[in-house]
Amino acid sequence: MPAVSQHLALRHDWSREEVLALFALPFPELLHRAASVHRQHFDPAEVQVSTLLSVKTGGCPEDCGYCPQAARYHTGVDATKLMSTEAVVEKAKQAKAAGASRFCMGAAWRSPKDRDIPKVAAMIQEVKALGLETCATLGMLSGDQAKALKSAGLDYYNHNLDTAPEFYGEIIHTREFQDRLDTLAHVRDVGMKTCCGGIVGMGESREQRAGLLQTLANLPAHPDSVPINRLVQVEGTPLAGTAELDPFEFVRTIAIARLLMPQSMVRLSAGRETMSDELQALCFAAGANSIFYGEKLLTTGNPDVARDQALFARLGLRPMPASIGDGEVEPADACSTTVHAAITVEAA
């Protein structure tokens, strides 16, 4: 088995054995390595804050086994039409006022229809005009659709690999793993940033968790953001009732994402609502530096803003300022200053 080097440069050639060797490290050693790498690239007190909005909910033709929005599962999620641009902008303003720097618009589509693209483009333009980074997750994209979204000013496209290639077929049957890689290539080819991660706690093995992280790190470019979701179990989906993942194994997964993709934002993503503050703190110590912020993810719950502000205060964390355009950094606006001030007062 190859030795695990203490100093890990940007690499795209991880073997499964190497990733498994990281999983096998003593927990304190793994955390120490991940925390050290985190500090080489980021201020560990800063956490990037994104807010999600489901702009088109439910009624999805796909069969993703974890998803409450698949039409075929009876989860109580009602299908809606695409929201109006005005309603989306209103939600984006609220997210900004609460301290978010990125606004991610999600649609329960297999892929957008060409006629949807101008409507989504209008949302992107108006949300960006508020000074927010924009992200969208709309399913599979063609090259032309990616180009149109880029022209509208979309900063990030979220499209997850979800799990290891060898476990994928047990979770999703209506599209291939390769389809996901193709969409990510279209997104990269037009110069958009990628947000790409997966879900753990779906009954996969450690080897398969390693396979997800290995595949993410071996993409032609590391995703700019790497959301690590812990399965939110929703009654009516095939994965409801799956055995819970050991919380320390979840922290290991975060730490190894940090080690393999040292310059990426690693997002402690879905699943936070049922995590203790202590577990979340361990994740931040292991190199997570991004969260979804606001009471709702797409259809399921997220910690409320007051709980997150209190957590930031207890841990001495602060929201990361928005990065607009090519590396240009917008100073923390009045809103994130408000969040920070609230945090500082509580911490005092």
Residues with Cβ within 8 Å of 249's Cβ and at least 6 positions away in sequence, in order, are 200, 206, 209
> For binding to ligand SAM (CB under 6 A), which residues are involved?
66-67, 69, 106, 108-109, 137, 139, 159-160, 162, 199, 229, 231-232, 234, 270, 298
Judge whether 283 counts as a catalytic residue. Answer: no
- Going along the chain, which residue ranges are E strands? 46-56, 102-107, 133-137, 156-158, 193-195, 198-200, 225-230, 265-268, 290-292, 318-319, 323-324, 328-329
The nearest distance, CB 69 to ligand SF4, in angstroms, is: 4
Residues with Cβ within 8 Å of 203's Cβ and at least 6 positions away in sequence, in order, are 239, 242, 243
Identify which of 176, 173, 89 has the alpha carbon closest to the alpha carbon of residue 125.
89
Judge whether 195 counts as a catalytic residue. Answer: yes
Judge whether 196 counts as a catalytic residue. Answer: no
Total residues contacting ligand SF4 by CB under 6 A comes to: 9
Considering CB distances under 5 to 8 angstroms, the limit depending on partner class, which of ligand DTB, ligand SF4, ligand SAM, none binds residue 299?
ligand DTB
The nearest distance, CB 332 to ligand DTB, in angstroms, is: 24
Q: Which of 11, 16, 39, 60 is catalytic?
A: 60
Judge whether 335 counts as a catalytic residue. Answer: no
Site string for ligand SF4, 131-170 (x = CB under 6 A): --------x-------------------------------
Q: Which of 33, 102, 180, 195 is catalytic?
A: 195
Identify which of 30, 101, 32 has the alpha carbon closest to the alpha carbon of residue 265.
101
Q: Which of 39, 110, 173, 314 binds ligand SF4 (CB under 6 A)?
A: 110
d(CA 113, CA 117): 7
The nearest distance, CB 123 to ligand DTB, in angstroms, is: 15
Residues with Cβ within 8 Å of 345's Cβ and at least 6 positions away in sequence, in order, are none
Point out which span in 56-64, 176-184, 267-275, 315-323 binds ligand SF4 (CB under 6 A). Answer: 56-64
Judge whether 104 counts as a catalytic residue. Answer: yes
CB closer to ligand DTB, 137 vs 309: 137
Considering CB distances under 5 to 8 angstroms, the limit depending on partner class, which of ligand SF4, ligand DTB, ligand SAM, none binds residue 120?
none
The nearest distance, CB 227 to ligand SF4, in angstroms, is: 13
The nearest distance, CB 104 to ligand SF4, in angstroms, is: 13
Q: Which of 33, 102, 135, 318 is catalytic?
A: 135
CB atoms within 10 A of CB 79: 12
- Coil/strand/helix, residue 241: coil
CB atoms within 10 A of CB 45: 13
Judge whether 135 counts as a catalytic residue. Answer: yes
The nearest distance, CB 148 to ligand DTB, in angstroms, is: 20
d(CA 23, CA 154): 35
In degrees to the nearest 10, what's the CA dihedral of 179, 49, 37, 276?
Answer: -100
- List C-alpha distances in Å: 231 to 42, 136, 179, 216, 300: 27, 21, 22, 18, 11
Task: Name the residues annotated as catalytic.
Answer: 60, 64, 67, 104, 135, 195, 267
Question: Interface residues with ligand SF4 (CB under 6 A)?
Answer: 60, 62, 64, 67, 69-70, 108, 110, 139
